Amino acid sequence: MFTGVAFDFQQYLGQKRSRIQAELERLLADNDPEILWESMRYSVLGGGKRIRGVLCLAAAEAAASKSGISADEAVLLALPCASAIEMIHAMSLIHDDLPCMDNDDLRRGRPTNHKVFGEATALLAGDALLVMASEVLMSRTPEQVEKSYLIDVALELVRTSGARGLVGGQVADMASTGLMDMPPSVAAEKLSMIHERKTGALIRFSVWSGARLCGADQDLLKAFKRYGEILGLSFQIADDLLDVTGSVESLGKTPGKDQAAGKLTWVSAYGVEGARAKLSDLEQEGKSILHHAGLSSETAAPLAALLEYSIHRQN
């Protein structure tokens, strides 16, 4: 599938990451109060794969190709949204790492936010990023995006972040420890629900929002929604596998923590081989969806490559 397309994924990823990084640096260039902004910058600018932001831009470019919008313009339209997504992702990591939550000391190979800035500042930096994401989306998205599209996307962003999305998933995840005694079918359903909210929702939003801002029609939005679901699920299964098979050097965080905590994961529920088989099925389905979405091979190539990358990455 997509054979014959000469596509340099690493170059694509590098270019898009740089755009997002530069935008985030510009957005976070404030110092009042200094410790708060330092703490926000520490987590938002300090590394990360930017997969969610890049997905948003890639989906925007792909949708734009069908709406008569140039790829360059698509990036401009979706860049505030991509930045907002990265802010939400960073804040969820800051709050998840807090002592009263997962109590993690290490993230992306560096001390976690509260280890550097203290718990109170880390908590407030997370709060600030959570609302700054909406601010950036609403105030920086170019005027040419229809107001009704913008409200749709802004509304979906907060839904994705809240009790029915990220936050609800985190609560369910905390409660999942010790649920390994459940019958496998119950455990599997529970696990899907947790991941759908905790990881899946923001990844799906990343793809959907980029397309929505660039005028995608209902068919493409539906295809991208399913592609986003597949990608989110793949991402989480790959994460669970890395927690078992990865090293602290390659991951930049402590592996084996889920296992040690007796947490329900794809690996604990299905075993390493079962999880790998599920990943393979998802990769096939995702590529098939892209193939039938009416995109040119060139336009679909980044999205296909992002799926492959999410599945086969080493960290």
| Binding residues vs a copy of itself (CB under 8 A) | 30, 32-33, 35-37, 40, 95, 98, 100-101, 118-121, 123-124, 126-128, 130-132, 134-135, 138-139, 147-148, 150-151, 154-155, 158-159, 161-164, 167-168, 170-172, 174-175
Closer residue to a copy of itself in complex, CB, 90/311: 90
To a copy of itself, the closest distance from the beta carbon of 135 in angstroms equals 5
Closer residue to a copy of itself in complex, CB, 117/270: 117
Closer residue to a copy of itself in complex, CB, 103/288: 103
Q: In angstroms, what CA-CA distances link 155 with 56, 137, 158, 216?
A: 16, 11, 5, 17
To a copy of itself, the closest distance from the beta carbon of 130 in angstroms equals 6
To a copy of itself, the closest distance from the beta carbon of 166 in angstroms equals 8
Q: Distance between CA 128 and CA 245 in Å, rounded?
A: 35
The interaxial angle of helices 119-140 and 34-45, nearest 10 deg, is: 70
Q: In angstroms, what CA-CA distances link 111 with 98, 102, 302?
A: 12, 14, 32
To a copy of itself, the closest distance from the beta carbon of 180 in angstroms equals 18
Closer residue to a copy of itself in complex, CB, 212/287: 212
Residue type, 44: V
Which residues partner with 107 through β-bridges?
110
Closer residue to a copy of itself in complex, CB, 155/260: 155
Closer residue to a copy of itself in complex, CB, 200/302: 200
To a copy of itself, the closest distance from the beta carbon of 34 in angstroms equals 9
Which residues partner with 110 through β-bridges?
107
To a copy of itself, the closest distance from the beta carbon of 128 in angstroms equals 4
Number of Cβ within a 10 Å radius of residue 254: 13
| Total length of the chain | 315
Which residues, 6 or more positions from 219, have their beta carbon under 8 angstroms from its beta carbon? 293, 294
To a copy of itself, the closest distance from the beta carbon of 288 in angstroms equals 32
To a copy of itself, the closest distance from the beta carbon of 39 in angstroms equals 9
To a copy of itself, the closest distance from the beta carbon of 173 in angstroms equals 10
Number of Cβ within a 10 Å radius of residue 313: 14
End-to-end CA distance of the chain: 26
Closer residue to a copy of itself in complex, CB, 169/286: 169
Closer residue to a copy of itself in complex, CB, 22/175: 175
Question: Hey, what are 110's tokens?
Answer: 């560096």
Closer residue to a copy of itself in complex, CB, 64/130: 130
Q: Distance between CA 235 and CA 231 in Å, rounded?
A: 6
Question: What are the start-end ranges of the H helices in the chain?
Answer: 9-27, 34-45, 51-67, 71-97, 113-117, 119-140, 147-161, 166-176, 184-195, 201-213, 218-245, 248-251, 257-260, 266-291, 297-312
Q: In angstroms, what CA-CA distances link 43 with 109, 114, 115, 147?
A: 12, 10, 12, 31
